[in-house]
Amino acid sequence: MYNTYIARQAILDRNRSTIGYELLFRDSPENKFPEIDQDVASSKLIIQNHLQGDIRSLSMGKLAFINFTEQCLVNKYPLMFDKSSIVIELVGHKIPSERLLKIIQFYHKKGYKVALTEYDLDEKWDVLFPYLSIIKVDVEVVNPKRLHKVLDRLKDFDVKLAAEKVETNFQVQALAEVGFNYYQGYFYHEPEVVEGQTLAPIKTQMLNLISETFNSPLDYDNIATIISHDVNLTVGLLKMVNNVASSTRVEITSLRQAAAYLGEDKLKQFVTILALSKMTTDKTDEVSKQALITAKLMTVLAKEGVFKEISDFAFITGLLSAIEVILSMPINEIIKTMPLASPIEDALVDHSGLLGELLVLTTKYITGNGDNIHQLIEMYSLDATLIQKEFIAACKWCKELGV
């Protein structure tokens, strides 16, 4: 586990109602942008508060304004978000190149809101007007009075004006007269740093995953196997599926199904962001190790006897069995971000159903907690000697993974 930091600043309308928050990467509690490449900053932001967290909660159910460089747009990172939850902020651009125009047209056609930042009033940007939702103007750099000619050129388009770095009430009144729709700055809301925690993928698993995605066509079985060796990668994959399937109900029962559901393009986006974010470590904690062992042992126990009917769900349930401890979040909140099948949800939340009973039995056996473990083994007609043998085998398997 390690700490994550995100700065959040409100964007308000003329009635001073919050319409969204701009989210900015931070690498410490200090509220300043770190010396870091913008592409990497965007990747870290996505990892920390989307794949591993809940960006809707972070933005209080409002729009999340996220900075994307042209390269991030080419890599299609915004497609990892529900189009109704974010605004794509263009950053780092100097000219409206033909490539940038095609990119903006692509996201506009997909239904995403796009905001042009660092706007300098130059007519060269007019070519983007049909595809923009918002133009952000830094009022410390650009005199708002110069916007009147721009407003004439914008009258045929549904584009809102947002003022950045609003510091005084006098500015607010003057900007409203000019025609600004939205406001952002210290006068309204000083950026606040939100601290959280997340995990890092094990480096060896990350390298294996990167290598696997170079293959064509993708082998979803191999990819699912690699992801299954790391709880963090599993959580990230499931959350991504949940976002992609936001308009429909998808019940995931296996990691292979999750990987195949995303398809080649989105899987490669997922891996690219993880690699670019450089959030890897050579170590994992004991809780994650226990989750791996639980998953392996549950799979073996579910191959025969009474548990056979839920064998397909056994591994992913065991892998997620410690997720509440790992993410320091209530399990009820965590499963909202994952499109899991009902039996898996029931097992994880209240240990109900046959899958929940298998989870309880396996967990108690591994941890040595519970006076009735032998009664449970007899109840389900299991072989205690076999369980001990498979437990040792699962521990050995976990060690061979290098975790």
pLDDT single digits (tens) 170-202: 787 788 888 899 998 876 556 555 555 555 666
Q: Are strands 182-184 and 2-13 parallel, antiparallel or unpaired?
A: antiparallel
Q: pLDDT at position 232, please?
A: 78
Check pLDDT > 80 for residue 284.
no
Give the pLDDT of residue 52: 46
Q: Is the pTM of this model over 0.75?
A: no
More confident residue, 156 or 24: 156
| Res. 403 pLDDT band, cuts 50 70 90 | low
The mean pLDDT of the chain is 81
Cis peptide before 29 (omega within 30 of 0): no
| Residue 17 scores a pLDDT above 90 | no
Cα 186–Cα 82–Cα 9 angle in degrees, nearest 5 = 5
Q: Are 259 and 220 in contact (CB under 8 A)?
A: yes
Per DSSP, helices labelled H in 328-383 are 331-334, 342-350, 353-367, 373-379
Confidence of residue 299 (pLDDT cuts 50, 70, 90): very high
Burial class of residue 275 in the structure, from the number of CB atoms within 10 Å of its CB (0-12 exposed, 13-18 middle, 19+ buried): middle
Interval 219-276: pLDDT, tens: 999 999 988 888 878 888 888 787 776 666 788 889 999 999 988 888 887 887 776 6
Running DSSP on this structure, what letter comes out for residue 48? Answer: I
Q: Which top CATH class is 2-196? A: alpha beta
User: What is residue 31's predicted lDDT score, i.e. its pLDDT?
Assistant: 44
What tens digit of pLDDT does each residue of 43-87 get? Answer: 666 655 554 456 676 777 889 898 888 888 887 888 878 888 899
Q: At what angle do helices 231-244 and 220-228 cross, to 10 degrees?
A: 120
Closest CA to 316 of 342, 288, 296, 336: 296
Residues of the chain with CATH 3.20.20.450: 2-196
